[in-house]
Amino acid sequence: MKRFALILFVLLGAVLLSACSASAQSVSWPGLSADANNAYLAKGQFVYAVRLSDGAKVWQYPASGGSQIFDANPVLTPDGQLLAASAGSDNGLYSIDPATGKDKWSAPFTAPDHWVAAPLVLQDTIYAANNNGILYALKLATGEKLWSLPLGHSLWGTPATDGKLIFVPSLDHFLYAVDPQAQKIAWKVDLGGAAAGSPVVSTDGKTVYVSSSAKKLFALDATTGSIQWTANTTNWVWNAPALSGDTLFASDISGNVYSIGTVNGKNAWPVVQPDGPITGSPLAIQNGVAVATESGFIYAFDAHGAPLWNISVGGNIYTSPIASGNLILVAPLNADFMLAGVSNDGKQILWKFTGK
């Protein structure tokens, strides 16, 4: 039944592509981010701040439920905001004070359609990719719209940047590179399939890594978009890969985990397939990588693909696990809790947050 739910999700994506309907709703799972003190969980009608030391609720936003549906990863900004994007009927992009859970802007920015992707912040500007296929540039301090640029089909992946261009994946099979100064498309590349996950930019800013439903990972020249290499995968790498040194860790919806060299695009591992579908991004850890599976487990592997540890968290995990301090944070669905703090050695669950 768990696998069936995931298959339905992927089939829904295929239906959306064939129907070319930018207004269709996406299947929701929680969004997650963290700073040194708190985790920020976007789930349903609320965004929660959860204390990392003991899993206690610090605040929830809004105080009572409304038309919002939060599932994109909340984004912490350099100037002390927490941006939360709604997939509800309000279509709002909200600015929250992460210390208090109160509004920072006088009003949210609203779009004609809902938000699936988390926004990107670069300097004093927010770049927000909407389900209507438009990239919006907003003033960071106020949420005021500066400009907008139509791209393609629905935009579900968080944009990435090399500091000069904004890279936006689209369900129309293209990766777009946008020049924010000229407010136009600098280049675009056909990926052969829908791109739902965020791109990843190399530490030197020269290469963009992105996946698509064509069962491929691409390494592209950040300046020109020329393809440097492609790596075949068994199935769709739904979410962003994780970059660690000269290795790109990736996982697909059939549950395969890959260790791909950034120089040549070759997978260094034999078949590594824990126990089921993986939709979240891998998490680079000390000496290896961790992945969360639909079955509710976290699995860790060393640099050679050998198992390090695994732990059953519960529920079905689709959201990417993240790390903060000595914790790995996971936000499952279909569990009697919303968020769990797992020790980063995988030995125990330190706390669970139920929303109360």
Q: What is the mean pLDDT of residues 152-175?
A: 96
The mean pLDDT value for 85-96 works out to: 96
pLDDT of residue 310: 98
| Nearest residue to 213 (alpha-carbon basis) of 2, 9, 16, 13 | 13
Q: What is the pTM of this model?
A: 0.93
What band does 11 get if pLDDT is binned at 50, 70 and 90? Answer: very low
- pLDDT (average), residues 288-292: 97
For residue 123, pLDDT beyond 70: yes
Confidence of residue 18 (pLDDT cuts 50, 70, 90): very low
Whether residue 232 contacts residue 212, with contact meaning beta carbons closer than 8 Å, is answered with: no
Q: What percent of the chain has pLDDT over 90?
A: 89
User: pLDDT tens digits, residue range 293-348?
Assistant: 999 999 999 999 999 999 999 999 999 999 999 999 999 999 999 999 999 999 99
Cα 352 to Cα 329: distance, rounded to the nearest angstrom: 10
Give the rounded percent of residues in the chain with a pLDDT score beyond 70. 92
What pLDDT does 17 receive? Answer: 39
- Give CA–CA dist 121/12, Å, rounded: 30
Looking at every residue in the chain, the average pLDDT score rounds to 92
**pLDDT band at 152, cuts 50/70/90?**
confident
> Hey, which CATH number is domain 2-277, 2.60.40.10, 3.20.20.70, 3.40.50.300, 2.130.10.10?
2.130.10.10
pLDDT in tens, 220-257: 999 999 999 999 999 999 999 999 999 999 999 999 99
Residue type, position 105, single letter = W
Q: Where do runs of H (alpha helix) occur along the chain?
A: 2-19
CA pseudo-torsion sign 105, 169, 73, 6: positive
Virtual torsion, Cα 98, 74, 278, 316, nearest 10 deg:
60
> Where in the chain are the domains?
2-277
Long-range Cβ contact pairs of 253-258 (< 8 A, separation 24 or more): 253/6, 253/10, 253/277, 253/278, 253/279, 255/293, 255/294, 257/282, 257/289, 257/291, 257/301, 257/305, 258/217, 258/231, 258/233
